[in-house]
Amino acid sequence: MPQPDLLPGTLFLLILRVLDGGPLHGYAIAKRIKECSQDCLSVEEGSLYPALNRMLVKGWVTAQWGLSETNRKARFYELTPDGRKQLEAEKQGFDRMVSAIQLVLETA
C-alpha cells in the first residue's frame, strides 16, 4: 500500500510532538515518526531539515552538536518553552480541522 502524503501543516506538529519526548537528531526524528505511525508516515530529508531550520528561526527548537548512537557527529534538536506552546497550538488546530472534516463526512 502506498504511503500517504503528509497533510499540509502537519510536519511541524509531528516534529514538535516527537521532540516533546526529548532531544533527537534529524534521522532519529524521521525514524520515530515512521515507527509511531506504524510505518505509514515517512518524512524525507528534503522536508525534514528545512522544517527544522524554520523551527530554529522561529525559536521553537534549539540545536547542539553531539554524537549519535553510531558515534557520528549529529545535530540534536530540543524543544524550547515557545516550542511547547506551539505544540499545544498545533495540536488544537489539528483537532479542529479533523473535527470539521468529520462533520462534512458525516453530514454531506
Phi/psi of residue 97, nearest 5 degrees: -65, -45
Read off the pLDDT of residues 81-102 as tens digits, 9 standing for 90 and up: 999 999 999 999 999 999 999 9
| Residue 69: predicted pLDDT | 87
Q: How far apart are CA 21 and CA 88, in angstroms?
A: 14
**Are 75 and 63 in contact, with CB atoms under 8 Å apart?**
yes
In a domain, 64, yes or no: yes
What range does the domain containing 64 cover?
10-107
Provide the 10 A C-beta neighbour count for residue 25. Answer: 20
How many domains does the chain contain in total? 1
- For residue 74, give the H/E element and its range: strand 73-79
In a domain, 1, yes or no: no
Res. 5 pLDDT band, cuts 50 70 90: low
In a domain, 14, yes or no: yes
In a domain, 5, yes or no: no
| Lowest-confidence segment of 2-6, 20-24, 50-54, 58-62 by average pLDDT | 2-6
**Are 82 and 59 in contact, with CB atoms under 8 Å apart?**
yes
In a domain, 15, yes or no: yes
CATH number at residue 20: 1.10.10.10
- Residues with Cβ within 8 Å of residue 62, at least 6 apart in sequence: 56, 77, 78, 80
In a domain, 41, yes or no: yes
In a domain, 3, yes or no: no
In a domain, 93, yes or no: yes
Q: Is 79 exposed, middle or buried (0-12, 13-18, 19+ CB in 10 A)?
A: buried
Q: pTM of this prediction?
A: 0.89
